[in-house]
């Protein structure tokens, strides 16, 4: 892998949808860089520190959330002199997002008083009263024609279906939830999945016209659903719960066809490999190598004192590090808190929050565990390559960790004092954006070989 130099950032960073640009927040400045040369192609000055940025789907416009003010500013890459400022006044702005047509911005006011649709074409506004949440509860169909917005009034949850062309309300219907948590359209736009708060285990499948097609409830007592996600192919619906189980439903009968348990002790027989991150002393013969002092010093910094990390394949049974959550505190760190599908829907990775250093990778086609990656530090972020079956994760260290069906391996970041706290793939899978505490860099990722085995070394 080839790494760029480190560039300054003080806030969010993200690739444009067309993979040509990187938007970076540096205090009150929005810096747009080219993804090939990394030269600055545009520089915009906002009125306050940037808290949030989001690209429009056409990659022509970008919005900046100045939530301290609170205000939204939008910019155009093709027309640098064009600018847009949205200020809700005393109502404030808690969150903002683009519509699929890239010509409307949806903002949610403080205290969820209203959701406003702002047009960049004719400056028209459309209001939806009492949105359920600020950053959640809004879902667009994949074709961009409709949006579902959750609202709450008279102690009941409702779904408002709006046309993204005219922004007229096409229908409103109540849903059978105690306290709706979020919604998501299926990849084929045929159904909506709605799930309740953790206090009530309930997953509901609705048709766009408001008919409840199926109600799923795995158990009644205890905390319920924590995370829900459709597979990219649309055939599977994964539900992660506080009972430390992953359940997968099929889209034809909505019945559970797979249940995966996250036990602290991994026992055989398993076809899966357990990879554990270990330190290995560096064995450098300085009498035969001509190394500069800067190289040796940088190697020492990034390798934590003349050590490098690698994966060691462990034998089963193997006991994973486990943290028992305190019973007297809210929001316990247990259950499936992280879940992500591979682009081909064949694999899904999960993290049980009571075992934060372990990442489980499940093979959906064979309904079995494919691998477990056991890290030294809690897992911060994971991301699947959008073009192939390759998983990358970070733990806040100076290393990247990768898994493919061929094996797992570690990659050291050569930048001195750079720890990776978050990562994102470019849409074409050619580049990784690695975010540190006050800087970011990018890594060019080679194509995945069709055969041969991966080494577990750096």
Task: Quick: pLDDT tens for 247-271.
Answer: 999 999 999 999 999 999 988 766 8
Percent of the chain residues topping a pLDDT of 70: 92
User: What sign does the CA torsion over 386, 258, 355, 223 have?
Assistant: positive
What is the predicted pLDDT for the residue at 67?
87
- pLDDT higher than 70, residue 45: yes
Can you tell me whether residue 297 is helix, strand or coil?
Answer: helix
Check: CB of residue 237 under 8 Å from CB of residue 193.
yes
Domain count, the chain: 1
Of 376, 408, 382, the closest CA to residue 394 belongs to: 382
How far apart are the C-alpha atoms of 359 and 349, rounded to whole Å?
Answer: 7
- pLDDT higher than 80, residue 408: yes
Check: CB of residue 336 under 8 Å from CB of residue 229.
no
What is the predicted pLDDT for the residue at 285?
55
What is the predicted pLDDT for the residue at 458?
45
Work out whether strand 83-86 and strand 95-98 pair parallel, antiparallel, or are unpaired.
Answer: unpaired
Backbone angles phi, psi at 88, to 5 degrees: -85, 0
Mean pLDDT check: name the lowest of 203-212, 274-283, 448-457. Answer: 448-457
Q: What is the pLDDT of residues 195-205, one digit of tens each?
A: 999 999 999 99
Is residue 273 situated within a structural domain? yes
Is residue 150 situated within a structural domain? no
Is residue 256 situated within a structural domain? no
What is the predicted pLDDT for the residue at 245?
97
How would DSSP label each residue in 323-342? -PPPTTSSS-S-SEEEEEE-
- pLDDT higher than 80, residue 456: no
Percent of the chain residues topping a pLDDT of 90: 82
For residue 435, the cross-strand partners are 422, 440
Is residue 346 situated within a structural domain? yes
Is residue 363 situated within a structural domain? yes
What is the predicted pLDDT for the residue at 448?
72
| Torsional class of 116: left (φ above 0), alpha (ψ -120 to 50), beta (otherwise) | beta
Angle at 114 between CA 107 and CA 111, to 5 degrees: 95
Of 160, 156, 90, 94, the closest CA to residue 126 belongs to: 160
- pLDDT higher than 60, residue 454: no
Tokens of 444: 């060019």
What is the predicted pLDDT for the residue at 300?
42
Q: What is the pLDDT of residues 72-81, one digit of tens each?
A: 999 999 999 9
Mean pLDDT of the chain: 91
How long is the chain? Answer: 458
- pLDDT higher than 50, residue 238: yes
CA 396 from chain centre, in angstroms, equals: 16
- pLDDT higher than 80, residue 443: yes
Report the predicted TM-score, pTM, of the whole model to 2 decimal places.
Answer: 0.91
Backbone angles phi, psi at 353, to 5 degrees: -65, -20
For the chain, the helix, strand and coil percentages under 3-state DSSP, each to the nearest 5: 5, 45, 50
Confidence band of 299 (pLDDT split at 50, 70, 90): very low
Q: Is the peptide bond before 76 cis (omega within 30 degrees of 0)?
A: no
Is residue 61 situated within a structural domain? no
Tokens of 143: 């074709």
Q: What is the pLDDT of residues 327-365, one digit of tens each?
A: 777 778 899 999 999 999 999 999 999 999 999 999 999
Mean pLDDT check: name the lowest of 78-92, 273-287, 340-354. Answer: 273-287
**Close Cβ partners of 51 (under 8 Å, ≥ 6 residues apart):** 11, 12, 65, 66, 67, 68
Confidence band of 68 (pLDDT split at 50, 70, 90): confident
What is the predicted pLDDT for the residue at 416?
87
SS (H, E, C) 14-55: EECCCCCEEEEEECCEEEEEECCCCCEEEEEECCCCCCEEEE
Check: CB of residue 234 under 8 Å from CB of residue 141.
no
Which has more pLDDT, 347 or 89? 347
CA 41 from chain centre, in angstroms, equals: 27
How far apart are the C-alpha atoms of 34 and 27, rounded to whole Å?
Answer: 20
- pLDDT higher than 60, residue 302: no
What is the predicted pLDDT for the residue at 186?
97
Q: Which domain holds residue 382?
A: 266-281+307-324+332-412
- pLDDT higher than 60, residue 453: no
- pLDDT higher than 60, residue 287: no
Tokens of 70: 């609170």
How would DSSP label each residue in 267-315? -SS-SSEEEEEEEEE----TTT----HHHHHHHHHHTTTTEEEEEEEEP
Q: What is the pLDDT of residues 172-227, one digit of tens each?
A: 999 999 999 999 999 999 999 999 999 999 999 999 999 999 999 999 988 999 99
Is residue 378 situated within a structural domain? yes
- pLDDT higher than 70, residue 283: no
Is residue 218 situated within a structural domain? no
How far apart are the C-alpha atoms of 108 and 131, rounded to whole Å?
Answer: 8
What is the mean predicted confidence (pLDDT) over 435-455? Answer: 76
What is the predicted pLDDT for the residue at 90?
87
- pLDDT higher than 80, residue 87: yes
CA torsion 75-78-81-86 (nearest 10°) is: -20
């Amino acid at each position: 892998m080839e790494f760029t130099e480190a560039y300054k950032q003080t806030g969010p960073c993200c690739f444009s949808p067309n993979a040509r640009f990187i938007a970076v927040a540096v205090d009150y400045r929005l810096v747009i860089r080219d993804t090939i040369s990394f030269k600055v192609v545009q520089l915009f000055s906002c009125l306050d520190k940037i808290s949030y940025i989001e690209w429009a789907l056409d990659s022509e416009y970008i919005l900046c959330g100045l939530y301290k003010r609170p205000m939204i500013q939008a910019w155009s890459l093709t027309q640098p002199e064009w600018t847009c400022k949205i200020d809700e006044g005393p109502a404030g702005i808690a969150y903002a997002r683009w519509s699929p047509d890239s010509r409307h911005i949806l903002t949610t006011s403080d205290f969820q008083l209203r959701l406003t649709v702002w047009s960049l074409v004719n400056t028209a506004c459309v209001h939806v009263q009492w949105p359920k949440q600020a950053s959640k509860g809004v879902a667009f169909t994949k074709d961009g024609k409709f949006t579902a917005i959750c609202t709450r009034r008279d102690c009941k949850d409702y779904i408002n279906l709006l046309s993204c062309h005219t922004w007229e309300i096409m229908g409103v219907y109540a849903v059978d939830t105690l306290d709706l948590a979020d919604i998501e359209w299926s990849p084929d736009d045929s159904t909506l999945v709605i799930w309740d708060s953790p206090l009530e285990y309930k997953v509901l499948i609705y048709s766009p016209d408001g008919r409840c097609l199926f109600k799923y409830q795995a158990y009644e007592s205890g905390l319920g659903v924590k995370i829900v996600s459709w597979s990219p192919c649309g055939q599977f619906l994964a539900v992660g719960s506080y009972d430390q189980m992953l359940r997968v439903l099929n889209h034809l009968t909505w019945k559970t066809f797979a249940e995966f348990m996250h036990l602290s002790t991994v026992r055989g027989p398993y076809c899966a490999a357990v990879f554990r991150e270990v330190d290995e002393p560096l064995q450098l013969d300085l009498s035969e190598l001509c190394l500069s002092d800067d190289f040796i010093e940088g190697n020492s910094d990034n390798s934590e004192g003349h050590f490098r990390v690698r994966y060691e394949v462990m034998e089963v049974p193997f006991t994973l590090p486990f943290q028992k959550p305190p019973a007297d505190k809210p929001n316990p760190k247990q259950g499936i808190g992280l879940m992500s599908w591979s682009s081909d829907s064949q694999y899904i990775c999960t993290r049980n929050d009571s075992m934060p250093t372990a990442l489980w990778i499940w093979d959906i086609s064979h309904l079995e565990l494919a691998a477990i990656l056991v890290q030294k530090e809690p897992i911060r972020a994971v991301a699947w390559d959008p073009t192939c079956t390759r998983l990358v994760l970070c733990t806040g260290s100076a290393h990247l960790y990768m898994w493919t069906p061929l094996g797992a391996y570690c990659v050291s970041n050569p930048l001195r004092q750079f720890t990776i706290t978050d990562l994102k793939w470019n849409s074409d899978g050619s580049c990784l954006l690695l975010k540190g505490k006050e800087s970011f860099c990018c890594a060019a990722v080679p194509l995945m070989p069709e055969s041969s085995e991966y080494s577990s070394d750096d």
